[in-house]
């Protein structure tokens, strides 16, 4: 298949979408399509897609919007949610037909009530994920909760979601994830061809675009990049350091630019908007709601969920080994309690395993971006890197 675009122009398309999510929603609403937004993380988008609506992740943020939420949310609460609510209050999401908020922490648990009060949409739903994931009760409950969400979507969309439609959506999403994993693998081997910012924007835009279109674009991109590798045209900038990243989200996005400028490649992460989003698929056999639940329980562990099989320390240490990372960079949002509770023991366990690690604290629309360059550079220098 001949490439219609070059890689650079595809990256630019993605960058534009991430830079202006409001314009993107406007573009998507040109047809009769209904758009249902979802707040990170772990909302089963396949269900929304199978219902005939377009799922859009609230993952591209407009920092100045944070201040609009001040009359409604305490300044000492999560800036990710303050920003999302602020954007809604400013009208950024007026074209959404609905919104799903998963309860993954105390802030997401409470923000729905505030949102419903201050900026209601026709369809709003709390997706109530189980927090314990080891015991059989959790799986039975989650299948039931998936069924509940399915029934609500069916009612809202005035149609039935058949098992075969859901299976088709699962296949579509799995395929999209599988191509992104190939790109991620290429990114970790050839960051000079596919740098941090471009790779992570590919993941973010997959939450902001129709999956079919996104899949076509990244399939083209993959073909172009693989050809460059085959032609040995990888040249360019050297990346000397391999970092594993950990946190809720890779915000602010400038962090990826900083890594690119310092010659450090992110070889993996447990970000909800990063590799964790693409790391595993939904089984394509069996009852589809059960399969969606099965994917949830095999996702990379994050602070929201408790359990032995969700042991985050072991998961991070394993990923460091598998990716041959030189160290771990924690990117933590200020006031994020779940991350804060995990951090001291994670840090100590990594250090005890001889894995260098460093933490930066970020705040959307708050802490200045300028600080991060020096902090990350110091860490990278300590790993023997630097360009």
Check residue 73 for interaction with other proteins (CB under 8 A).
yes
Question: Taking contact as CB under 8 A, which single stretch among the options 13-21, 99-107, 155-163, 237-245 is the one that binds other proteins?
Answer: 99-107
Q: Cis ω on the peptide bond leading into residue 81 (within 30° of 0)?
A: no
C-beta closer to other proteins: residue 175 or 297: 297
| Residue in 239, 343, 358, 379 binding other proteins, rule: CB under 8 A | 343
- For residue 275, the SS3 value is helix
C-beta closer to other proteins: residue 138 or 317: 138
Question: Taking contact as CB under 8 A, which single stretch among the options 185-193, 321-329, 331-339, 371-379 is the one that binds other proteins?
Answer: 331-339
Show contacts with other proteins in window 277-306 (CB under 8 A).
Answer: 303-304, 306
Report the DSSP beta bridge partners of residue 265.
242
Check residue 377 for interaction with other proteins (CB under 8 A).
no
- 2: exposed, middle or buried (C-beta count within 10 Å: 0-12, 13-18, 19+)? exposed
Check residue 155 for interaction with other proteins (CB under 8 A).
no
C-beta closer to other proteins: residue 74 or 382: 74
Using CA atoms, how far apart are residues 61 and 68, in angstroms rounded to an integer? 13
Check residue 109 for interaction with other proteins (CB under 8 A).
yes
Using CA atoms, how far apart are residues 290 and 123, in angstroms rounded to an integer? 24
Size, binding site for other proteins by CB under 8 A: 48
Using CA atoms, how far apart are residues 330 and 322, in angstroms rounded to an integer? 18
**Contact status, residue 92 vs residue 65, Cβ threshold 8 Å:** yes
Check residue 105 for interaction with other proteins (CB under 8 A).
yes
| Residue in 345, 353, 378, 381 binding other proteins, rule: CB under 8 A | 345
Residue of 356, 317, 325, 318 lying closest to 241 (CA atoms) = 325
Residue of 240, 244, 250, 241 lying closest to 350 (CA atoms) = 244
| Residue in 5, 29, 72, 171 binding other proteins, rule: CB under 8 A | 72
Check residue 157 for interaction with other proteins (CB under 8 A).
no
C-beta closer to other proteins: residue 256 or 303: 303
Distance of CA 265 to the CA centre of its chain: 18
Check residue 268 for interaction with other proteins (CB under 8 A).
no
Check residue 337 for interaction with other proteins (CB under 8 A).
yes
Alpha helices in the chain, H assignment, sequence order? 7-19, 21-28, 45-50, 79-89, 106-118, 136-157, 163-189, 196-206, 211-230, 254-262, 275-278, 288-297, 312-323, 337-352, 370-382
C-beta closer to other proteins: residue 12 or 140: 140
- For residue 246, the SS3 value is strand
C-beta closer to other proteins: residue 173 or 343: 343
CB of 376 to other proteins, least distance (A): 19
**Contact status, residue 363 vs residue 351, Cβ threshold 8 Å:** no
Residues lying near other proteins in the complex (CB under 8 A): 71-74, 76-77, 103, 105-107, 109-114, 116-118, 126, 128, 130-132, 135-138, 140-141, 144-145, 148, 303-304, 306-307, 334-335, 337-338, 340-345, 347
């Amino acid at each position: 298949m001949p490439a219609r675009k070059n890689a650079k122009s595809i990256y630019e398309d993605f960058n534009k979408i991430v830079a202006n999510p409001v314009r993107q929603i406007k573009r998507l609403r040109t047809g009769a399509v209904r758009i249902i937004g979802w707040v990170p993380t772990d909302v089963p988008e396949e269900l929304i897609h199978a219902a005939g609506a377009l799922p859009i992740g609230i993952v591209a943020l407009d920092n100045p919007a944070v201040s609009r939420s001040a009359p409604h949310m305490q300044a000492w609460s999560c800036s990710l949610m303050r920003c999302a609510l602020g954007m809604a209050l400013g009208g950024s999401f007026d074209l959404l037909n609905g919104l799903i908020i998963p309860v993954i922490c105390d802030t997401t648990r409470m923000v729905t009530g505030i949102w419903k009060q201050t900026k209601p949409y026709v369809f709003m739903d709390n997706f109530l994920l189980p927090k314990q994931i080891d015991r059989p009760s959790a799986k039975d409950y989650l299948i039931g909760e998936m069924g509940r969400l399915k029934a609500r979507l069916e009612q809202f969309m005035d149609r039935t979601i058949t098992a075969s439609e859901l299976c088709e959506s699962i296949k579509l999403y799995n395929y999209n994830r599988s191509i992104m994993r190939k790109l991620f693998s290429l990114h970790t081997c050839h960051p000079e061809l596919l740098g941090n910012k471009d790779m992570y924007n590919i993941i973010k835009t997959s939450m902001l675009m129709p999956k079919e279109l996104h899949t076509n674009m990244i399939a083209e991109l993959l073909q172009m990049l693989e050809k460059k590798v085959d032609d040995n045209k990888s040249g360019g900038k050297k990346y000397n350091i391999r970092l594993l990243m950990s946190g809720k989200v890779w915000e602010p996005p400038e962090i990826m630019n900083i890594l690119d400028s310092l010659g450090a490649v992110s070889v993996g992460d447990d970000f909800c908007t990063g590799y964790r989003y693409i790391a595993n698929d939904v089984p394509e056999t069996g009852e589809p709601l059960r399969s969606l639940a099965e994917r949830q329980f095999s996702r990379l562990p994050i602070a929201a969920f408790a359990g032995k099989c969700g042991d985050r320390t072991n998961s991070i240490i394993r990923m460091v080994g598998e990716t041959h990372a030189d160290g771990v960079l924690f990117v933590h949002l200020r006031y994020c309690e779940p991350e804060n509770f995990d951090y001291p023991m994670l840090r100590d366990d990594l250090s005890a395993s001889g894995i260098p690690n460093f933490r930066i604290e970020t705040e959307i629309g708050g802490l200045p971006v300028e600080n991060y360059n020096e902090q990350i550079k110091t860490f990278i220098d300590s790993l023997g890197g630097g360009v």
